[in-house]
Structure 1
């Protein structure tokens, strides 16, 4: 069983929307799944498809309002396992329920198609009683996607013999007030083997518990699954050499050399796009999700100068930004930011702070502007960054602020994978260019019908994968490399919520109505006013 976060987050799922991972779940097979917060990362329409593909049992106890639940062939509110001794005399029932965190900080507005996640502990209390009294279960085992302190609450408030949980990235095996709490950690490196034993038919309903946490790589791999995994990952190879976006002249000459001792233009460009990517779903005129993006220079790793005709590819992204990093948002007072960046500039070091193009320093290195507006020292600014930002030895004032206010540190699993975040933003940048070419106005109406017809190369009234590939070369000016198809699939995937089609369902087309609906939606979001979209027309 897997206790959530199986479809995402990782780079491949931002392209195939979890299709490859679902093949792995079915092929292994994984018998039981529960929801994790990152399942929402693949988008509602594609998540609905993945749910329909699963062949095991998906236990959903506290999010039954999700659109996929009604009429599902795999989801259940609970599962009851019946085990019988070899002589047939000792019969036991084990009740399983699956609960997902409802912490608001983990979710964007409208997550999971607007489904309501019920309170985990109220849900567990209700279903524990049902499983024990109505279904005759000897024990109930909750499968949870909760953080360790939340699991500790579960152990204290209930008499479960064992809690199987996920969400945290570290391994946990401990007893909390008589309940064994088990987590195998992230990425499937380790697995929990759990034995529950009742010695005889007359023994207590509470079993003997035996646990072993093992290294998965100690077992030989399944060759068929390994081949399937290689096929799934193969789509990334051509993308490494494919232009994802064009860098405007404002960031030229483009360089990441010396990022530990000076401001570098590649750092400025990438951080500006990270800021924009974090804000693009915000309603136009609404409160932005982040005010600025800051990253320590040791994280801008390329260390090279770029020629004037070099633009952003996945290969360049991987050389500059480590794929494993997640972008989080933290709150920092203007007074701390004013001096905090300057503290990192005394000598060349990995903590030398890079910043986006809306941040400005004075001649002495103090921050005077954020978001292209004068710094307000009394304001709490929302900073997009990664988990080393509050390391005190690099920036003492920033580190001290978080020592005093640990409650402002982000949820450990609340970040967004940096490459997937940027890939989605670059795809939406291109759609914005295409909408402009079509003359789509704020009402989502196509003003230039001939523009749509020029993009519809085969004249069938819809934009296919081939239509978009040709359009990217003609209108957007991206290089015609083999991996362009993968970028096209990412773009088509973004239209799934507006057309009901996506690259994973075989249709791979976008009709004029879907384009209109999408343009209308995005014209009311902050993407419509992002810097760096129109300015790409000024790139070489």
Structure 2
């Protein structure tokens, strides 16, 4: 029997010294000499520390935990590729990724990235392969010159190579998000997953598929015996922290001035912006619209990172962590007919898959009435007036929203636009000046929703 500890999408855990310390402490308490510690991508970024100049923020955690193996997530490519290469070379774990290509060769080969590796646990030889999302070069601009192939054929080749080497067990690490195709194509007991932030424990064609969610709140403990896998979950909040890790990250936050209080809340603010209108989505959209001097604000909720609710004293780090990416706020000139189509895409109906029952669009100085059953934008208003398809509106948005056309399909970089400021200065200034709302105000109304929405 082998034992695995699995985390993924811990992303900004380093911005919360206590949580980072508890995750490190939990791994240390559960680990023994026959346990493999595995990451499934997005374990270095995004976060406030990495964004504000500490590109190697993950290294103290990695050195404390000493993981055995990890794979590449799309957010590993939030930094310059040269910086990522340095981080890969410095970190203690083996990085496995079978579907990342750099020209005619494997990405990261010189830094030690391999398609698969063989480790030992409890006297058994364990083959571990990794795959990244095939969309990484599309959703991560720094990865645009790389190629990420279909993970299924790449994983199939890796499993065959490991079987040829006579391993006792094969374990998959996947940051592909949708792991069902891997489970159906491969005869492996478990795939330790990430990328999609919903927690998952499910068997598909006999393969156990796991995802811990984001932010380092859960750790899975997996046992594999006779090629059958089972798992239990551990809550990081219940663990004793590693004091050295806590102190390290507190010092790093203070050194960058990220612990300054900029707002005080009289109630909690949930950090979820993909289930309909949200107070945090309104805050971000309002901040960008006002900074841009625009008539409308438009924000994509998936860029607002889910985490513990904001409470009490809100720091610079808390505000920056809402959108922990190096984005600019823009003022964009959008014809009314294209703005209406963009508001229709706020529903995410066009993205399919797990996106279909979400709602990503967050707006400012606009009102939306959406019929879920009819997949219809019933009404759209700007201020107190119906949206005029023949008028051109100045819309405040992030450069990422404009650049990545699949989010709002009617928007593209050819629209006239100008830079306003970096998004973090915009958000921090707005929090200082106007505070952060704790309740939504009804600017988005959705009707005929399913009962579980």
**Equivalent residue number for residue 49 of structure 1:** 86
Matched, 1:114 2:145: yes
Match of 2:298 in 1: 293
**Equivalent residue in structure 2 for 1:182, among 206, 210, 213:** 210
2:108 corresponds to which residue? 69
Contact 1:60 1:76 in 2 (8 A): yes
Structure 1 residues 70 and 398, CA gap change in structure 2 (3 angstroms): same
Counterparts of 1:55 and 1:378, CA distance in 2: 48
Q: Secondary structure in 2 aligned to 1:293?
A: strand
Distance (whole Å) between structure 1 residues aligned to residue 362 and residue 75 of structure 2: 26
Q: Tell me, yes or no, if the aligned pair for 1:145 and 1:165 is still in contact at 8 Å.
A: yes
Matched, 1:143 2:173: yes
Tell whether 2:246 aligns with 1:226: yes
Consecutive unaligned residues in structure 1, runs of 5 or more: 86-91, 198-205, 243-259, 277-290, 300-313, 328-355, 359-370, 406-420, 425-524
Whether contact under 8 Å (2:41, 2:71) holds in the other structure is yes
Give the CA deviation at 1:189.
1.2
Counterpart-to-counterpart distance in 1, 2:101 and 2:79: 19
2:220 to 169, 188, 192: 192
After superposition, the CA RMSD in angstroms is 4.7
Name the structure where strand makes up a greater proportion of residues: 2
Q: Distance in 1 between matches of 2:283 and 2:197?
A: 34
- Give the direction of change, closer, same or farther, for the CA distance of 1:322–1:395 in structure 2 (3 Å limit): farther
Note closer, same or farther for the CA distance 1:223–1:157 as it changes in structure 2 (3 Å cut). same
Q: What per-residue deviation string (whole Å, max 9, x for no partner) do you get for residues 231-284 of structure 1?
A: 222234368489xxxxxxxxxxxxxxxxx9xxx9996662366899xxxxxxxx
Which residue of the other structure, out of 168, 182, 186, is the alignment partner of 2:196?
A: 168
Quick check: 1:212 aligned with 2:232? yes
In terms of Rg, which structure is larger? 1
Which residue among 358, 369, 388 is the counterpart of 1:397? 369
Measure the CA separation in 2 of the matches of 1:3 and 1:196: 18
Q: Which residue in the other structure is 1:93 paired with?
A: 125
Q: What's the counterpart of residue 416 of structure 1?
A: none
Shift of 1:192: 0.8
Which residue is 2:446 aligned to?
none
- What does the per-residue CA deviation read over 1:42-79, in whole Å, with 9 as the maximum and x for residues that have no partner? 2223212212221221112211428862322x422211
**Structural mapping, 1:415-426, within 5 Å:** none
- Paired with 1:156 and 1:77, the residues of 2 have a C-alpha distance of 20
Deviation of 1:423 (Å): 13
> Residue 289 of structure 2 corresponds to which residue in structure 1?
271
Match of 1:130 in 2: 161
Q: Is the 8 A contact 1:292 1:384 kept in 2?
A: no
In the alignment, the residues of structure 1 paired with residue 144 and residue 189 of structure 2 have an alpha-carbon distance, to the nearest angstrom, of: 35
Which gives a bigger RCO, structure 1 or 2 (Cα 8 Å, sep 6+)? Answer: 2
Per the normalisation by structure 2, the TM-score is 0.56
Note closer, same or farther for the CA distance 1:115–1:157 as it changes in structure 2 (3 Å cut): same
The partner residue of 1:376 within 337, 343, 351 is 337
Q: What 5-or-longer segments of structure 2 have no aligned partner?
A: 1-37, 263-277, 305-313, 348-357, 378-396, 401-412, 426-453
Partner SS, residue 109 of structure 2:
coil
CA distance in 1, matches of 2:71, 2:150: 16
In the other structure, the counterpart of 1:324 is 322
Tell me the equivalent position of 2:46. Answer: 9
Shift, 1:106, TM fit:
5.1
